[in-house]
Every structure is written in structure tokens, then in C-alpha cells.
Amino acid sequence: MPADQYATLLQTMPRLWTIARNSRPTYAFDTVQSITGDFLEREGVRGVLWDVDGTIMSYHAKAIDETFGHLHALISADPDRHAVLSNCDEPRFRELGDMLPELPILRAYATPSGPVFRHTHRGRDTHSHEEIARLLQRGARQIRKPSGALVRYGMEILGLTDPQEVLMVGDQYLTDVASANLAGARSVKVRTWRRDTFPFSIRTSQRLERLLYLVMRPFQ
């Protein structure tokens, strides 16, 4: 199992009941092709937080999938309305910063003195590699989705105060959708794009997640 997936699992387990109860999406689409400027306008969405792998590209791909070419126009029409929220590891975080320089890539760390928020945008990182290494050495750990705090940080970066104006778009109930619900934001659940590109262990956990979502439907 990839280390970032294992860490997400460890963080999720103690809160599984709460998270599973908060995993019903506002909208469910097959793919992000349904997310257009018209849709955002009609639904009163002023900010979008994007998951990456399985949502806008295949697993650890190097660019937005060409099937979703419309996203380039959507984002460049109003880049200040979009940001990325991924549970990836540090190398992938830096890679996303290089791949999608027009979008703030967000993350956060839990430290003994409170959360530390970080983003990289247009080649500038709020924290140097040395600062992050020091934080981790002192026992900080990455805050991963599901996290309402990450969505609230996204709202801050996008300059929004009403969570209902924010849409988290992702392919996973227990990370992407639950993050939105924990923050009072809205969410779009898409089917995992190019599931065949994901490692077997992740595909297995995605199947378990779907099963848990279905079992928990009456409690949501």
C-alpha cells in the first residue's frame, strides 16, 4: 500500500463513523465533464476545490486528462476561483505545483502548537523545504482529507466566507465528499477516472469505501 494512502487510512479509522455519516455528496456525476461554467453559475458556486488523482487525471499522471480539456478554459477564465486539495505525498505535491502553476495547491500539518497551513502557487511555496523538514522532524504530521479545516483553508485562499459557495470535487466519499460536508460546503462525487491506473491496494480500498457508503446511506 502506498505510504500516503496508509497515512490517510490511519487518520480516518478513529473517526470512521462520523466520516461515513458525512459522506453523502450534493451532486453525483460520471465525470468532471459535467462541471462547466454554466453549472457553477447556475448553482451559485464561487469557489472550487479539486481533487486530482482519479478526478481530473489518472493516477499520478502528469497533466489534466485530455478528455477534460474544457477545465483549462474554465480555470483560466477565473483562476482565483479554483484550488487543489490532494492527499498526495511531498514529491507529488511539488509535482502538482509545477504541473498546475495557475492553481494554489493546498496542504496543512498538525503540530503541537496548532495547525500550520501551506500552499504553493505560481512557483512560490509558503514554506521552504527546510521549514517543512524541520516541522516533520519535530513530530508534525500532514492533515489529510477528510478534513473540514482543509476546506476552510481553501475558502480563505479563495477569499470566501460562505461554505455553501464552495464546491469540493472528488472521486472518493470518505475523503473528498466528507471534507466538504465537515466544513458545511457542497460537493460533487465523480466516478474514479481511469481506475485501472490505480495500484491494486487503492482499488480495493475504493471498493470498500463504496460498500461502506451504501451501508451507511440510511444514517446519512
Burial (Cβ within 10 Å: 0-12, 13-18, ≥19) of residue 157 = middle
166-205 footprint of Mg ion as x/- string (CB under 5 A):
-----x----------------------------------
The answer to whether 209 contacts Mg ion (rule: CB under 5 A) is no
Residue 211 beta carbon to Mg ion: minimum distance, rounded to whole angstroms: 18
* Cα dihedral value 156, 169, 199, 4, nearest 10: 20
Distances (CA, A) of 31 to 68, 97, 171, 186: 9, 23, 9, 17
The answer to whether 53 contacts Mg ion (rule: CB under 5 A) is yes
For Mg ion, give the closer residue by CB, 127 or 195. 195
For Mg ion, give the closer residue by CB, 15 or 60. 60
Residue 215 CB coordination number (10 Å): 10
The answer to whether 51 contacts Mg ion (rule: CB under 5 A) is yes
Residue 83 beta carbon to Mg ion: minimum distance, rounded to whole angstroms: 15
Residue 64 CB coordination number (10 Å): 20
Which residues make beta-bridge pairs with 108? Answer: 117, 143
For Mg ion, give the closer residue by CB, 77 or 211. 211
The residues in 143-172 that bind Mg ion, with binding defined as CB under 5 A, are 171
Which residues of this protein are in contact with Mg ion, per CB under 5 A? 51, 53-54, 171
